[in-house]
Amino acid sequence: MTLAACGTGQGSRAGAAETAGASGVQDKPLSKADLERATVTGTDLDGYEVQRDVAAAFASRKTASPAECAPAVQAVGGSSGFAATARTARFITSKERGSDTHMTLSAHSPGDARQVIDALRTAAERCSTFKDNLVDFDYDAVQVRPDPGYGDESVSLRLTQLASGSENEEPVRVPYAVVAVRQGTTVAMFTDFNLPGGPKGKEPAAVPEAIIRAQLNKLRKPAAARRPG
């Protein structure tokens, strides 16, 4: 069985994002080379292995039913439907628990970077259930989590994938977690799920904070180097 890996800040916060975000990242999108240099590797994460995912380094064309839920479907797949000047993606595997976190970094125009987060938050708030039209999987129990406060703005959600091989097969309920963070004009999107039958199979999924922190810390470094003296 194949599992489908699947409000804006206001006032002074929005104004600050137009010059330099709360993270200190400048407004100019990172180049492809800078984005690659800013991506975590195995040496940045003790206890994890990091592998490139070529297939996810593109804008998502996934659609949903209802259509307004498409940003949530796309985020579960690790991407968004917005154009990007550069994208890169990784599978980050825990050596201890053996499961993958999928991560995508995408460099956008300032407006699009903010819209990626806005669109995901709005879809998650409006869609308690939806269908991924591409793989014909349903999702339910969509829950927007308290804002984790990462980067310049972030959104966190949990949901459950109902995966089945046929109409007559009882679907397997797979808990998923999605965390999306905007840091300047770069969006980092993380997805994780609990393996059916695993030790945490029925527990709510969560993206390891160590992965998020390591990636956001590294993302600041090329931006600091680009900052005028």
pLDDT of amino acid 166: 67
Higher pLDDT, 1 or 51: 51
**Mapping DSSP to helix (H, G, I), strand (E, B) and coil, where does residue 186 land?**
strand
Q: Give the whole-angstrom CA distance, residue 76 versus residue 70.
A: 10
Locate 6 and state its tokens. 């699947």
pLDDT of amino acid 12: 30
Q: Residue ranges of the alpha helices (H) in 94-164?
A: 110-126
* Beta strands per DSSP E along the chain: 48-52, 64-65, 86-94, 100-107, 130-132, 137-144, 153-163, 172-183, 186-193
Among 1-15, 24-38, 104-118, 210-224, name the one with the lowest average pLDDT: 1-15
Q: Give the whole-angstrom CA distance, residue 36 versus residue 46.
A: 20
Alpha carbons within 13 A on the beta-carbon side of 139: 35
| 136 has pLDDT over 70 | yes
Locate 208 and state its tokens. 């390891």
**Cβ pair 181, 211 in contact under 8 A:** no
Higher pLDDT, 127 or 21: 127
What is the pLDDT of the chain when averaged over all its residues?
A: 85
Higher pLDDT, 133 or 57: 133
Q: What is the pLDDT of residues 203-224, one digit of tens each?
A: 899 999 999 999 999 998 855 4
Q: What is the pLDDT of residues 61-86, one digit of tens each?
A: 999 999 999 999 999 999 999 999 99
Predicted confidence band at 27 (pLDDT cuts at 50, 70, 90)? confident
